[in-house]
Structures are given as C-alpha cells and as structure tokens.
Structure 1
Amino acid sequence: MRLPPRKRNDFNQFLESIRIPTDTSISDFALLGYSRATLPGDNFSILHPFEHVNEPFEFVTEINFLDHNGYAIDDIKIGNEISFQYGLDSIEVKYNRHTIGYIKKVYTSLFNRIKDTNIKGVIEKK
C-alpha cells in the first residue's frame, strides 16, 4: 500500500502535508484517498476524475514548472491567492500577474469545465 507506516517518526508531518489534523482518526482507505497515494518526495499519485462532483469542493494539486519560470520562489508567500488563465491546452497559474507555473495537463478539462464558478486558488506550501 502507498502509505507511510503510522509508526514512523514523521507520520504527523505526512498528515499535515495533506491538510489532515494529526489528532484525526482516519482509516487507511480514507487516507489513501486524501493523499492520492502520493508519498512524501515522490511524484506518483492517483488522479480523481471529478466527473460527478458537485461544488463546492476542495482540490489540492502541485504547480508544474514552478522552479523553471524565472519567478523567485522566495517571493511567493504561503496563504496568498493565485489566479488562473484558461486555455484549451493548458491552465496557467498566475501570482502577482506573473505566470509561476501550470496545472497538471490531466486537469485542464476540469478547470475549463468549472472556470465560470467561484474558483479560489491559494498557495498552501512550497
């Protein structure tokens, strides 16, 4: 199973990295869903298709090419809002009117489908 052992010293850090309070009682199956089977330090994940999901919902994802965009990552502040520029083939992530990266291509159709709803983006961690 793609979950770290609960007895690991850094298990609470793993929970915090996926926004789950450390005192939460959660099954391995639910934890697998919340973490999308992503382990700390790897890029593997199970992708949710969001085909039958009603708004509002939360969605956490990485920003691709964040470190290749010429924008200083140190200038990006946790908690600040981001915006999106929608295209047929890509979704740009904007911060202070600068492109800082892109949403994973597999989520392009999701973002284009919900772009007219109240989408709010926030930097959670870097």
Structure 2
Amino acid sequence: MMIENSIHVNTLFLTWQSNRDRNQRYLVGALKKLESGFEFSYLTETQDYSDALEQGFLGYPAFPLNKGSFTNDVMTTFMKRLPPRSRRDFKKYLVNHHLPVDFNGSDFDLIAHTGIQLPSDGFDLIPNLEEADIPFEYLMEVAGTRYHLSFEQSVEILLGSKVDLHCENENEFDCNAVAMFVNQIKIGYVNKLLCQTVRKLMVRDLNCYVAQVSGTVERPLIYVMLSAK
C-alpha cells in the first residue's frame, strides 16, 4: 500500500509527549513554510501549551521558550532528525513510510509524511491536513490502540482491512472525536489534531485501510492509510 499522491501543506504542527505520561500528546508549536523561508513559533496562547508546561515541557532544544519566532536554520534543525537522502538505506526508509523509492518531494513534504519521532524524546511534526490539496494519501498512527486492543488482537488484524470511521459527538473528552473500527471492533481514534479535518473529508470520498501493524505487548501500534479523493 504505497502513497501515490503526496501531501503538500504550508504548516506542520509540533507536538510533544511527556516521558512520564505517554497517554497525552500536546500541540506546542508550528513550523510554517513562507515565501521567504521557514518560521517556527510556539503556540503560547493555547491550552495545550499551558498544559504541556505543567507536565514539564521545556521547549524544543534548539528553540528557547519566550524568544518569539525563529527563522534561522529552522528546517536544518528539524532535518537532523531524519536520515540524509545520501544514505544507502534511504530508500528503505521511504518504503517503511509507504513512500515510493523515487520520492522527489521537498524536505518539508518528507517531514509531513514521516514526522520527526525519535525514541529519545516525545517530539513529532504533524501536517495540517486542512491545507492539503485533494487527492492525497496520509499514513496515520491510530491513537489509543492500547486501550481498546491487546497486542494479540492487534496482530490478528489483516493488512488492507477496511477501516470504518464513526464520529463520537458525545465523547466526554473531545466532542470532535472520530473512532476507528475494523470489522466492528474499535481499534482506537483519529489523532485529535486531525479530527476536524477528517470529519470534513468524511463528507467526500475518504477511504481508510490498515497499512501497518507493529509495536510491543505494552504498546501495540496500528497505522492506517487515509486516502482522500
């Protein structure tokens, strides 16, 4: 299941997850592509940012808090978290993220599809799908899988299985929540940052399929391919 239509957006959201609590991911900043280059800034006015500070958020290492926006070496800083295109195994890296080996998108596009997750910290960059032109495909990690499936149940899910989406307007935590089901079994939720956009896409032609199953006994992971047409 390969991505044929890549994402082109102008905004990537920086999210952070505390090492002490892997149950919550906070929206803390935004990386923007401008005509003059790139700009990173913290979203200091949001509730997520305030909650992250309470959980011990100290900022992204290269960008000190309370310093305004940043424009120098912004993309270079984030690209350090990805393997260089010159590496011999770069094509394998692309395939692992369901991208074609001849992927010729920009570095910004590459991050939009792959993120910047490292095992050493809780940072990641997520595209603002509201800006994406249709058609596109996006590989998304299902949120909250560990609370709905055991590892044994997750590995029994077949690749290519159709994923059904259900809006949970009465969800006590998020009225925009979108639950994901395979064969009427709940496997988790759409990332909260993407729920409003996914709801809009559901009115159009949005298909979702299981693209990858991995993880550990403690943390089973399921990745779903969103295909908007």
- TM-score between both structures, scaled by the size of structure 1: 0.79
Which sits farther off after the overlay, 24-33 or 106-115?
Answer: 24-33
* Aligned-CA RMSD value: 2.7
Counterpart Cα distance in 1 of 2:118 and 2:91: 13
Counterpart Cα distance in 1 of 2:108 and 2:149: 39
* Partners of 1:4 and 1:39 within 8 A in 2: no
The count of residues paired between Structure 1 and Structure 2 equals 126
Q: Give the aligned partner of residue 111 of structure 1.
A: 198
* Partners of 1:82 and 1:93 within 8 A in 2: yes
- TM-score between both structures, scaled by the size of structure 2: 0.47
Q: Give the aligned partner of residue 86 of structure 1.
A: 167
Counterpart Cα distance in 2 of 1:6 and 1:54: 25
Correspondence 1:5 to 2:84? yes
Q: Give the aligned partner of residue 183 of structure 2.
A: 96
Which sits farther off after the overlay, 102-111 or 28-37?
Answer: 28-37
SS at the partner of 2:195? helix
Q: Give the aligned partner of residue 15 of structure 1.
A: 94
Structure 1: segments with no counterpart, 5+ residues: none
Counterpart Cα distance in 1 of 2:104 and 2:133: 26
Counterpart Cα distance in 1 of 2:118 and 2:88: 15
Counterpart Cα distance in 1 of 2:206 and 2:83: 32
Correspondence 1:69 to 2:156? no
Structure 2: segments with no counterpart, 5+ residues: 1-78, 169-174, 214-229
Q: Residues 31 and 65 of structure 1: is their aligned pair in 2 closer, same or farther, counting only changes over 3 Å?
A: same
The answer to which structure has the higher strand fraction is: 2
Q: Give the aligned partner of residue 115 of structure 2.
A: 36
SS at the partner of 1:19? coil
Q: Give the aligned partner of residue 51 of structure 1.
A: 130
